[in-house]
Structure 1
């Protein structure tokens, strides 16, 4: 995979049949699908994925669909509608500002007639048991924090996203590469079920053919011991709506549970080159004997993340 993706490959921890669709002889008919939830300003974890998507677009040069899941998030999370719309539009502008080429990507939301129709058409191939078997691993965590919408809403959100993944087949693509966090792998599983079942449905088939591969980004661990840096759990993250003083306060805390996640944040969401990242790794490894260099690395990361935060704020204009 390193041959196809180059340095970008280091951003991924899991591949699921990705090499098949990345085969150079098949790449001409491949489309990439990815997306983001607009529940809040991007955390360092979301920023790491956004930077990875920009790198992937440059590396592959394949058609790409980037979905901001406004309607899906409305159904699956307890966030006001106007907040979702505001963050959605800001995300579109921010992705372009950090380097995504809009000429090579379709940027859309779930307020898309074709995708809503497609979601309605694929629903017949899935059962309630399918959604119970293939579900997000962090649902219980979100439920404990009062963040989830209704059970039906979570299913509806899944249908929209499955339709997102399958969209390129409707347009004639030969293969799809799904790119997401590993906690969202269940979307890929559900899309494959639909693709397989409709192919064997006779007169009820949609006529879609091809394969689905997946690449899963490295999950950015949450601060303070949380398993993931999540927009929905403020204590777990730093995000782009924070003021510089807030970013500094969170990054410069010395609690041991946050130190490894902060190194991961530097590796994935700083925008630094390989030399600077190597220097930060060395400072982290030696932090107990020589705390100064690690504190300096974190200060520099504060500046880098603050620059992204300033770009995010500029995208409200």
Structure 2
């Protein structure tokens, strides 16, 4: 079933299971049955992050969302920092990937991720590499051409992509990540990611179906995969997404307070919606503070003062996360 924008009925159903964390998601792909409390004992959650650079506000929003989701569902969670996948699909030095990977591990724990309930790992994982090798037989080149990241052309235009085989290899590792809980007896997997990564869900479902029909060549997996997709945080300067691979589109946690302020406090109109989204999703502010930010944004032309103050407050908040990020390197 293709991902769909959540209607009121679906939103209410998701909110009933996820509580306040539900506002972070805009699209649902078969997630409601997976979230049913009656299947909770056999359900697992999968999400992950690419270690190509320090987290942007967009990546931070997903990290905060993962922590909220874990606290709400109390279900086993796998969080993957895709070092080997990024090495194959992006033009980033291995030493950088390793450094950012280890820093992300520490940062996620500092944000409150429950280490005891989480399989926090990278792609340098023997079981996942074996799983990727075993599922390759169920996928064709045409599958990877049909199900691919929507932003590939944008990344290619910026010289960021690895080879075609490297991109396919990265996808294979990540599909194996999604399917990993089935190796441990799960019957229901909830994939949570950005909407641009929905193709991983599609490919994982193809594998699940084809291995089930392969008789003696199957893997014995049965169950279903649901997905929830995080609201995309728009990029600064009019970019479609705040991406760490496109510096002009984002603020990130390695920036100095001056650099953050330079981008957040800038008055160009193309960046203002992205700043509001960052405040809503990557600040950790409560509902009252977020509502005040929306009010100031809506009246920013007639009354610029409150919006200026809100942005300055967000700079301070983001810089506190940046300090925590830098401390996670030690």
| TM-score (structure 2 length as normaliser) | 0.96
The match for 2:316 is 303
Aligned-pair distance for 1:255?
0.2
Q: Gapped runs of 5+ residues in structure 1?
A: none
Partner deviation per Cα, 1:194-222 (whole Å, 9 max, x = no partner): 00000000110100000000000000000
Aligned-pair distance for 1:20?
1.0
Alpha carbon RMSD of aligned pairs, Å?
0.4
The match for 1:9 is 22
Tell me whether 1:254 sits opposite 2:274 in the alignment. no
Q: Which runs of structure 2 are paired with 1:1-317 in the superposition (5 Å)?
A: 1-317=14-330
Partners of 1:122 and 1:163 lie apart in 2 by: 7
Partners of 2:188 and 2:174 lie apart in 1 by: 17
How many positions carry a matched residue from both structures?
A: 317
Partner deviation per Cα, 1:69-102 (whole Å, 9 max, x = no partner): 0000000000000000000000000000011010
Partners of 1:174 and 1:134 lie apart in 2 by: 24
Q: SS at 1:26's partner residue?
A: helix
Aligned-pair distance for 1:48?
0.2
Partners of 1:229 and 1:86 lie apart in 2 by: 22
Partners of 1:176 and 1:280 lie apart in 2 by: 35
List structure 1 runs of 4+ shifted beyond 2 angstroms.
none
Partners of 1:59 and 1:77 lie apart in 2 by: 34
Partners of 1:307 and 1:63 lie apart in 2 by: 29
Partners of 1:116 and 1:174 lie apart in 2 by: 21
| TM-score (structure 1 length as normaliser) | 1.00
Partners of 2:117 and 2:127 lie apart in 1 by: 20
Aligned-pair distance for 1:174?
1.0
Partners of 2:215 and 2:284 lie apart in 1 by: 50
Partners of 2:320 and 2:256 lie apart in 1 by: 11
The match for 2:3 is none
Q: Gapped runs of 5+ residues in structure 2?
A: 1-13
